[in-house]
Amino acid sequence: MKSYYIYTYGCQMNTADSERLAHQLEQVGYLPTEEVEAADLILLNTCAVRETAETKVFGRIGELKRLKEKNKNLILAITGCMAQKNQAEMFKRAPHVDIVLGTHNIQHINEMIAEVQRTHKHQINVDMDNTVLPELQAKPNGTFFAWVPIMNGCNKFCTYCIVPHVRGREISRPVEAIVKEVTELGQQGFKEITLLGQNVNSYGLDFKDGTDFGTLITALDGIPGIERIRYMTSHPQDMTKSMIDALGSSSNVVTHLHLPIQSGSNRILQKMNRHYTVDHYKALLQYCREKIKDVVVTTDIIVGFPGETEEDFQDTLQLLKDVRYDMAYTFIYSKRSGTPAATMDEQVPEEVKRVRLQQLMDIQNEISLDLNKPMEGHNFDIIVEGPSQRDENTWFGRTSGNKMVLFPKDDSLKVGDTVTAHIDRAQTWVCYGSIIK
Protein backbone atom coordinates (compact mmCIF):
# COMPACT_ATOMS: atom_id res chain seq x y z
CA MET A 1 0.00 0.00 0.00
CA LYS A 2 1.11 3.55 -0.71
CA SER A 3 1.48 5.89 2.25
CA TYR A 4 1.42 9.67 2.72
CA TYR A 5 2.69 12.17 5.28
CA ILE A 6 1.42 15.76 5.54
CA TYR A 7 3.25 18.65 7.21
CA THR A 8 0.78 21.42 8.05
CA TYR A 9 2.00 24.93 8.82
CA GLY A 10 0.12 28.10 9.72
CA CYS A 11 -3.55 28.77 10.35
CA GLN A 12 -6.63 26.65 10.95
CA MET A 13 -7.62 27.11 7.31
CA ASN A 14 -4.49 25.19 6.34
CA THR A 15 -5.42 22.48 8.84
CA ALA A 16 -8.83 22.18 7.19
CA ASP A 17 -7.22 22.05 3.73
CA SER A 18 -4.91 19.25 4.91
CA GLU A 19 -7.92 17.25 6.06
CA ARG A 20 -9.46 17.64 2.61
CA LEU A 21 -6.21 16.65 0.93
CA ALA A 22 -5.99 13.57 3.17
CA HIS A 23 -9.48 12.46 2.14
CA GLN A 24 -8.62 12.75 -1.55
CA LEU A 25 -5.39 10.80 -1.13
CA GLU A 26 -7.14 7.98 0.70
CA GLN A 27 -9.75 7.81 -2.07
CA VAL A 28 -7.02 6.57 -4.45
CA GLY A 29 -5.40 4.13 -2.05
CA TYR A 30 -2.94 6.14 0.04
CA LEU A 31 -2.81 5.46 3.77
CA PRO A 32 -1.44 7.82 6.43
CA THR A 33 1.88 7.08 8.08
CA GLU A 34 3.43 8.61 11.20
CA GLU A 35 6.93 7.89 9.86
CA VAL A 36 7.96 10.44 7.24
CA GLU A 37 10.87 8.17 6.23
CA ALA A 38 8.36 5.51 5.14
CA ALA A 39 6.11 7.78 3.06
CA ASP A 40 5.64 7.42 -0.70
CA LEU A 41 4.17 10.93 -0.83
CA ILE A 42 5.19 13.87 1.36
CA LEU A 43 3.05 16.98 1.19
CA LEU A 44 3.90 20.31 2.81
CA ASN A 45 0.89 22.58 3.33
CA THR A 46 2.61 25.90 3.84
CA CYS A 47 2.12 29.36 5.35
CA ALA A 48 3.39 32.69 4.02
CA VAL A 49 2.09 35.09 6.68
CA ARG A 50 5.59 35.78 8.03
CA GLU A 51 9.09 35.56 6.60
CA THR A 52 10.06 33.19 9.42
CA ALA A 53 7.35 30.76 8.31
CA GLU A 54 8.81 30.63 4.80
CA THR A 55 12.34 30.16 6.13
CA LYS A 56 11.15 27.24 8.26
CA VAL A 57 9.46 25.56 5.29
CA PHE A 58 12.42 25.97 2.96
CA GLY A 59 14.58 24.43 5.68
CA ARG A 60 12.26 21.43 5.83
CA ILE A 61 12.25 21.11 2.03
CA GLY A 62 16.05 21.02 2.12
CA GLU A 63 16.03 18.28 4.75
CA LEU A 64 13.69 16.16 2.65
CA LYS A 65 16.12 16.13 -0.27
CA ARG A 66 18.00 13.20 1.29
CA LEU A 67 14.80 11.11 1.30
CA LYS A 68 14.29 11.91 -2.36
CA GLU A 69 17.84 10.76 -3.09
CA LYS A 70 17.22 7.47 -1.24
CA ASN A 71 13.85 6.83 -2.89
CA LYS A 72 13.58 8.00 -6.49
CA ASN A 73 9.85 7.19 -6.52
CA LEU A 74 9.08 9.47 -3.57
CA ILE A 75 6.78 12.33 -4.58
CA LEU A 76 7.27 15.67 -2.84
CA ALA A 77 4.42 18.20 -3.12
CA ILE A 78 4.15 21.78 -1.89
CA THR A 79 0.79 23.51 -1.44
CA GLY A 80 -0.66 26.35 0.60
CA CYS A 81 0.04 30.09 0.65
CA MET A 82 3.80 29.80 0.24
CA ALA A 83 3.36 27.70 -2.90
CA GLN A 84 1.07 30.38 -4.32
CA LYS A 85 3.43 33.22 -3.42
CA ASN A 86 6.74 31.62 -4.46
CA GLN A 87 5.54 29.76 -7.52
CA ALA A 88 8.08 31.35 -9.87
CA GLU A 89 11.12 30.30 -7.85
CA MET A 90 10.00 27.07 -6.20
CA PHE A 91 11.45 24.60 -8.71
CA LYS A 92 14.61 26.71 -9.14
CA ARG A 93 15.24 26.82 -5.41
CA ALA A 94 14.18 23.22 -4.76
CA PRO A 95 14.37 21.14 -7.96
CA HIS A 96 13.67 17.94 -5.99
CA VAL A 97 10.10 19.17 -5.44
CA ASP A 98 7.69 17.43 -7.84
CA ILE A 99 4.40 19.33 -7.41
CA VAL A 100 3.54 22.97 -6.68
CA LEU A 101 -0.16 23.32 -5.97
CA GLY A 102 -1.80 26.71 -5.40
CA THR A 103 -4.40 27.59 -2.77
CA HIS A 104 -7.28 27.24 -5.25
CA ASN A 105 -6.29 23.85 -6.62
CA ILE A 106 -6.11 21.29 -3.84
CA GLN A 107 -8.91 19.37 -5.58
CA HIS A 108 -6.38 18.46 -8.30
CA ILE A 109 -3.83 16.71 -6.06
CA ASN A 110 -4.55 13.17 -7.32
CA GLU A 111 -4.41 14.01 -11.00
CA MET A 112 -1.12 15.86 -10.48
CA ILE A 113 0.35 12.87 -8.66
CA ALA A 114 -0.70 10.66 -11.57
CA GLU A 115 0.92 13.07 -14.02
CA VAL A 116 4.22 13.03 -12.12
CA GLN A 117 4.17 9.24 -12.16
CA ARG A 118 3.44 9.21 -15.89
CA THR A 119 5.88 11.90 -17.07
CA HIS A 120 8.48 12.09 -14.27
CA LYS A 121 8.36 15.87 -14.72
CA HIS A 122 7.53 18.85 -12.51
CA GLN A 123 3.83 19.70 -12.21
CA ILE A 124 2.43 23.09 -11.25
CA ASN A 125 -1.10 24.47 -10.93
CA VAL A 126 -1.43 27.89 -9.32
CA ASP A 127 -4.39 29.28 -11.25
CA MET A 128 -6.73 31.36 -9.09
CA ASP A 129 -10.39 30.91 -10.05
CA ASN A 130 -12.60 33.03 -7.78
CA THR A 131 -15.83 31.96 -9.45
CA VAL A 132 -15.98 28.43 -8.04
CA LEU A 133 -15.31 27.05 -4.57
CA PRO A 134 -15.21 23.27 -4.94
CA GLU A 135 -17.02 21.13 -2.39
CA LEU A 136 -14.48 18.71 -0.93
CA GLN A 137 -14.94 16.05 1.71
CA ALA A 138 -12.59 15.98 4.68
CA LYS A 139 -10.99 13.44 6.95
CA PRO A 140 -11.34 15.19 10.34
CA ASN A 141 -8.42 14.60 12.70
CA GLY A 142 -10.29 15.65 15.83
CA THR A 143 -12.12 13.17 18.04
CA PHE A 144 -15.02 15.46 18.89
CA PHE A 145 -14.34 18.69 16.97
CA ALA A 146 -14.05 19.52 13.28
CA TRP A 147 -13.08 22.46 11.09
CA VAL A 148 -15.68 23.70 8.60
CA PRO A 149 -14.49 26.26 6.02
CA ILE A 150 -17.35 28.57 5.02
CA MET A 151 -15.45 30.74 2.53
CA ASN A 152 -12.05 31.41 1.01
CA GLY A 153 -10.09 34.55 0.30
CA CYS A 154 -10.16 38.12 1.60
CA ASN A 155 -11.08 41.49 0.09
CA LYS A 156 -9.66 43.72 2.82
CA PHE A 157 -6.01 44.23 1.78
CA CYS A 158 -4.69 45.27 5.18
CA THR A 159 -1.32 46.81 4.40
CA TYR A 160 0.59 44.31 6.55
CA CYS A 161 -1.11 41.14 5.28
CA ILE A 162 -0.21 38.81 2.42
CA VAL A 163 -3.42 36.74 2.57
CA PRO A 164 -5.45 38.50 -0.19
CA HIS A 165 -2.49 38.05 -2.54
CA VAL A 166 -2.23 34.29 -1.96
CA ARG A 167 -5.84 33.33 -1.16
CA GLY A 168 -7.53 35.61 -3.67
CA ARG A 169 -10.88 37.38 -3.43
CA GLU A 170 -13.69 36.29 -1.15
CA ILE A 171 -15.93 33.46 -2.30
CA SER A 172 -18.51 31.81 -0.05
CA ARG A 173 -19.90 28.30 0.16
CA PRO A 174 -23.70 28.01 -0.14
CA VAL A 175 -25.58 27.93 3.16
CA GLU A 176 -27.12 24.58 2.18
CA ALA A 177 -23.72 22.96 1.65
CA ILE A 178 -22.46 24.10 5.04
CA VAL A 179 -25.63 22.97 6.82
CA LYS A 180 -25.32 19.57 5.12
CA GLU A 181 -21.69 19.16 6.22
CA VAL A 182 -22.39 20.20 9.81
CA THR A 183 -25.45 17.91 9.98
CA GLU A 184 -23.34 14.97 8.80
CA LEU A 185 -20.64 15.80 11.35
CA GLY A 186 -23.27 15.79 14.09
CA GLN A 187 -24.49 12.37 12.90
CA GLN A 188 -20.90 11.09 13.01
CA GLY A 189 -20.54 12.09 16.66
CA PHE A 190 -18.73 15.41 16.40
CA LYS A 191 -19.89 17.80 19.13
CA GLU A 192 -18.00 20.98 18.30
CA ILE A 193 -17.32 22.66 14.97
CA THR A 194 -15.38 25.79 14.08
CA LEU A 195 -16.51 27.86 11.10
CA LEU A 196 -13.46 29.14 9.23
CA GLY A 197 -12.89 32.16 7.03
CA GLN A 198 -10.28 34.89 6.72
CA ASN A 199 -13.18 37.23 7.59
CA VAL A 200 -16.32 35.34 8.58
CA ASN A 201 -18.29 38.58 8.92
CA SER A 202 -18.14 39.07 5.15
CA TYR A 203 -19.54 35.59 4.52
CA GLY A 204 -22.26 35.60 1.85
CA LEU A 205 -21.73 39.17 0.67
CA ASP A 206 -20.58 37.81 -2.70
CA PHE A 207 -24.02 36.22 -3.21
CA LYS A 208 -25.56 39.72 -3.35
CA ASP A 209 -28.95 38.40 -2.23
CA GLY A 210 -28.97 39.50 1.41
CA THR A 211 -27.28 36.37 2.73
CA ASP A 212 -24.77 37.14 5.47
CA PHE A 213 -23.03 35.54 8.44
CA GLY A 214 -26.12 35.99 10.58
CA THR A 215 -28.12 34.02 7.99
CA LEU A 216 -25.69 31.14 8.29
CA ILE A 217 -25.65 31.19 12.10
CA THR A 218 -29.44 31.03 12.17
CA ALA A 219 -29.46 28.15 9.67
CA LEU A 220 -27.04 26.15 11.84
CA ASP A 221 -28.97 26.62 15.05
CA GLY A 222 -30.17 23.45 16.73
CA ILE A 223 -28.51 20.85 14.49
CA PRO A 224 -28.67 17.55 16.44
CA GLY A 225 -25.43 16.51 18.11
CA ILE A 226 -23.68 19.86 17.68
CA GLU A 227 -23.17 21.32 21.15
CA ARG A 228 -20.82 24.16 20.25
CA ILE A 229 -20.23 26.30 17.19
CA ARG A 230 -17.08 28.41 17.18
CA TYR A 231 -16.00 30.77 14.42
CA MET A 232 -12.91 32.65 13.32
CA THR A 233 -11.92 35.23 12.43
CA SER A 234 -14.23 38.23 12.75
CA HIS A 235 -13.57 41.68 11.29
CA PRO A 236 -15.08 44.84 12.84
CA GLN A 237 -15.68 46.46 9.45
CA ASP A 238 -18.27 43.89 8.36
CA MET A 239 -19.83 42.98 11.70
CA THR A 240 -23.42 44.22 12.02
CA LYS A 241 -25.99 44.35 14.79
CA SER A 242 -28.13 41.76 13.04
CA MET A 243 -25.18 39.35 13.03
CA ILE A 244 -24.64 39.98 16.72
CA ASP A 245 -28.35 39.38 17.35
CA ALA A 246 -28.06 36.01 15.58
CA LEU A 247 -24.99 35.06 17.63
CA GLY A 248 -26.73 36.03 20.85
CA SER A 249 -29.92 34.12 20.13
CA SER A 250 -28.28 30.89 18.90
CA SER A 251 -28.59 27.84 21.14
CA ASN A 252 -25.16 26.41 20.27
CA VAL A 253 -22.85 29.32 19.31
CA VAL A 254 -20.18 29.72 21.96
CA THR A 255 -19.77 32.78 24.17
CA HIS A 256 -16.23 33.40 22.89
CA LEU A 257 -15.83 36.33 20.50
CA HIS A 258 -12.45 36.99 18.90
CA LEU A 259 -12.57 40.49 17.41
CA PRO A 260 -9.16 41.81 16.29
CA ILE A 261 -8.59 45.54 16.82
CA GLN A 262 -4.87 45.56 15.79
CA SER A 263 -4.27 49.08 17.17
CA GLY A 264 -5.90 51.57 19.50
CA SER A 265 -4.86 54.51 17.33
CA ASN A 266 -7.17 55.72 14.55
CA ARG A 267 -4.15 57.05 12.67
CA ILE A 268 -2.46 53.66 12.68
CA LEU A 269 -5.72 51.86 11.81
CA GLN A 270 -5.93 54.09 8.74
CA LYS A 271 -2.34 53.25 7.78
CA MET A 272 -3.24 49.59 8.20
CA ASN A 273 -6.22 50.04 5.85
CA ARG A 274 -8.59 48.68 8.51
CA HIS A 275 -11.60 50.92 7.64
CA TYR A 276 -13.08 51.41 11.11
CA THR A 277 -12.41 53.72 14.05
CA VAL A 278 -11.79 52.93 17.69
CA ASP A 279 -15.14 54.47 18.62
CA HIS A 280 -16.96 52.30 16.06
CA TYR A 281 -15.17 49.23 17.41
CA LYS A 282 -16.07 50.06 21.01
CA ALA A 283 -19.73 50.58 20.07
CA LEU A 284 -19.82 47.16 18.38
CA LEU A 285 -18.26 45.53 21.40
CA GLN A 286 -20.71 47.19 23.76
CA TYR A 287 -23.59 45.83 21.68
CA CYS A 288 -22.00 42.36 21.77
CA ARG A 289 -21.80 42.50 25.55
CA GLU A 290 -25.46 43.46 25.71
CA LYS A 291 -26.68 40.73 23.36
CA ILE A 292 -24.34 37.77 24.01
CA LYS A 293 -24.71 36.53 27.57
CA ASP A 294 -21.40 36.04 29.42
CA VAL A 295 -19.41 36.89 26.28
CA VAL A 296 -15.65 36.38 26.53
CA VAL A 297 -13.74 38.79 24.29
CA THR A 298 -10.25 38.31 22.87
CA THR A 299 -8.35 40.31 20.26
CA ASP A 300 -5.18 40.68 18.16
CA ILE A 301 -2.83 43.65 18.54
CA ILE A 302 0.22 44.55 16.46
CA VAL A 303 2.95 46.57 18.18
CA GLY A 304 5.43 48.72 16.30
CA PHE A 305 3.60 49.15 13.00
CA PRO A 306 5.52 51.59 10.73
CA GLY A 307 5.02 55.15 11.93
CA GLU A 308 3.64 54.15 15.35
CA THR A 309 4.56 56.98 17.73
CA GLU A 310 4.61 56.85 21.51
CA GLU A 311 1.26 58.66 21.46
CA ASP A 312 -0.20 56.02 19.14
CA PHE A 313 1.07 53.30 21.45
CA GLN A 314 -0.40 54.99 24.52
CA ASP A 315 -3.75 55.03 22.70
CA THR A 316 -3.47 51.25 22.40
CA LEU A 317 -2.66 50.87 26.09
CA GLN A 318 -5.68 53.03 26.94
CA LEU A 319 -7.84 50.84 24.70
CA LEU A 320 -6.81 47.79 26.73
CA LYS A 321 -7.80 49.53 29.95
CA ASP A 322 -11.12 50.70 28.50
CA VAL A 323 -12.18 47.48 26.78
CA ARG A 324 -10.69 44.94 29.24
CA TYR A 325 -10.15 41.91 27.02
CA ASP A 326 -10.10 38.46 28.52
CA MET A 327 -7.00 37.84 26.43
CA ALA A 328 -5.01 39.62 23.73
CA TYR A 329 -2.78 37.91 21.18
CA THR A 330 0.04 40.41 20.78
CA PHE A 331 2.56 40.55 17.95
CA ILE A 332 5.60 42.61 17.09
CA TYR A 333 5.22 43.96 13.56
CA SER A 334 7.57 42.26 11.12
CA LYS A 335 7.99 43.09 7.45
CA ARG A 336 6.19 40.85 4.99
CA SER A 337 7.60 41.23 1.47
CA GLY A 338 4.88 41.92 -1.06
CA THR A 339 2.82 44.08 1.28
CA PRO A 340 2.67 47.92 1.31
CA ALA A 341 3.71 48.17 4.97
CA ALA A 342 7.08 46.56 4.20
CA THR A 343 8.14 49.61 2.19
CA MET A 344 6.63 52.30 4.44
CA ASP A 345 8.86 54.95 5.97
CA GLU A 346 9.31 55.32 9.73
CA GLN A 347 9.97 51.67 10.52
CA VAL A 348 10.02 51.34 14.31
CA PRO A 349 13.33 50.14 15.84
CA GLU A 350 13.27 46.56 17.12
CA GLU A 351 14.25 47.55 20.66
CA VAL A 352 11.34 50.00 20.84
CA LYS A 353 8.97 47.27 19.62
CA ARG A 354 10.15 44.86 22.30
CA VAL A 355 9.76 47.41 25.10
CA ARG A 356 6.26 48.32 23.92
CA LEU A 357 5.25 44.67 23.62
CA GLN A 358 6.29 44.01 27.21
CA GLN A 359 4.35 47.04 28.47
CA LEU A 360 1.30 45.84 26.57
CA MET A 361 1.59 42.30 27.92
CA ASP A 362 2.05 43.50 31.50
CA ILE A 363 -1.21 45.45 31.41
CA GLN A 364 -3.13 42.71 29.62
CA ASN A 365 -1.91 40.04 32.03
CA GLU A 366 -3.27 42.02 34.96
CA ILE A 367 -6.63 42.40 33.22
CA SER A 368 -6.78 38.70 32.28
CA LEU A 369 -6.17 37.68 35.88
CA ASP A 370 -8.76 40.18 37.16
CA LEU A 371 -11.37 38.71 34.79
CA ASN A 372 -10.51 35.09 35.60
CA LYS A 373 -10.53 35.44 39.39
CA PRO A 374 -14.34 35.78 39.65
CA MET A 375 -14.63 32.32 38.05
CA GLU A 376 -13.37 30.79 41.31
CA GLY A 377 -16.10 28.96 43.17
CA HIS A 378 -18.35 28.68 40.10
CA ASN A 379 -19.22 25.77 37.82
CA PHE A 380 -18.72 25.65 34.05
CA ASP A 381 -19.48 23.06 31.39
CA ILE A 382 -16.35 21.89 29.59
CA ILE A 383 -15.60 19.33 26.89
CA VAL A 384 -12.73 17.03 27.85
CA GLU A 385 -9.80 17.36 25.43
CA GLY A 386 -7.30 14.98 27.02
CA PRO A 387 -3.97 15.19 28.87
CA SER A 388 -2.10 18.48 29.15
CA GLN A 389 1.26 18.83 27.43
CA ARG A 390 3.17 19.02 30.70
CA ASP A 391 1.57 16.26 32.77
CA GLU A 392 -0.30 13.19 31.54
CA ASN A 393 -2.05 12.96 34.91
CA THR A 394 -3.54 16.42 34.43
CA TRP A 395 -6.28 16.72 31.83
CA PHE A 396 -7.97 19.76 30.40
CA GLY A 397 -11.08 21.05 28.72
CA ARG A 398 -12.46 24.40 27.61
CA THR A 399 -15.48 26.41 28.57
CA SER A 400 -17.85 27.89 26.01
CA GLY A 401 -15.83 31.09 26.41
CA ASN A 402 -12.64 29.19 25.49
CA LYS A 403 -11.15 29.37 28.99
CA MET A 404 -8.86 26.39 29.62
CA VAL A 405 -9.62 24.36 32.74
CA LEU A 406 -7.05 21.87 34.11
CA PHE A 407 -8.20 19.03 36.37
CA PRO A 408 -6.83 15.72 37.77
CA LYS A 409 -7.06 12.78 35.40
CA ASP A 410 -10.21 10.72 35.93
CA ASP A 411 -10.26 7.22 34.44
CA SER A 412 -14.04 7.35 34.16
CA LEU A 413 -13.79 10.19 31.62
CA LYS A 414 -12.85 10.05 27.96
CA VAL A 415 -11.96 12.66 25.36
CA GLY A 416 -15.10 14.37 24.09
CA ASP A 417 -17.15 13.97 27.28
CA THR A 418 -19.12 17.04 28.32
CA VAL A 419 -18.76 17.51 32.08
CA THR A 420 -19.17 20.18 34.74
CA ALA A 421 -16.01 21.61 36.29
CA HIS A 422 -15.85 23.52 39.57
CA ILE A 423 -13.18 26.24 39.41
CA ASP A 424 -10.94 26.07 42.47
CA ARG A 425 -8.20 28.46 41.40
CA ALA A 426 -7.89 30.90 38.50
CA GLN A 427 -4.63 32.15 36.99
CA THR A 428 -3.82 34.49 34.13
CA TRP A 429 -3.94 31.89 31.35
CA VAL A 430 -5.64 28.84 32.86
CA CYS A 431 -7.99 27.77 35.61
CA TYR A 432 -7.63 24.76 37.91
CA GLY A 433 -10.71 22.83 38.89
CA SER A 434 -12.36 19.56 39.80
CA ILE A 435 -15.02 17.55 38.00
CA ILE A 436 -18.46 17.44 39.58
CA LYS A 437 -20.24 14.08 39.39
Q: Determine if residue 154 is labeled as part of a ligand binding site.
A: yes
| Rounded CA separation 237/373 (Å) | 32
Helix (H) or strand (E) holding 417: none
| Rounded CA separation 315/305 (Å) | 14
| Rounded CA separation 65/44 (Å) | 13
377 and 425 in contact (C-beta within 8 Å)? no
Q: Determine if residue 158 is labeled as part of a ligand binding site.
A: yes
Q: Give the gyration radius of the chain's Cα atoms.
A: 23
Q: Determine if residue 288 is labeled as part of a ligand binding site.
A: no
- Amino acid 129 reads D
CA angle 354, 298, 355 (to 5 degrees): 10
436 and 380 in contact (C-beta within 8 Å)? no
406 and 432 in contact (C-beta within 8 Å)? yes
- Cα first-last separation, the chain: 46
Task: Tell me which DSSP letter residue 265 carries.
Answer: -
Contacting residues for 421 by C-beta, under 8 A, at least 6 apart: 379, 380, 381, 382, 397, 405, 407, 433, 434, 435, 436
Query: Which residues contribute to the annotated binding site for [4Fe-4S] cluster?
Result: 11, 47, 81, 154, 158, 161
Task: Could you list the residues known to form a binding site, using ranges.
Answer: 11, 47, 81, 154, 158, 161
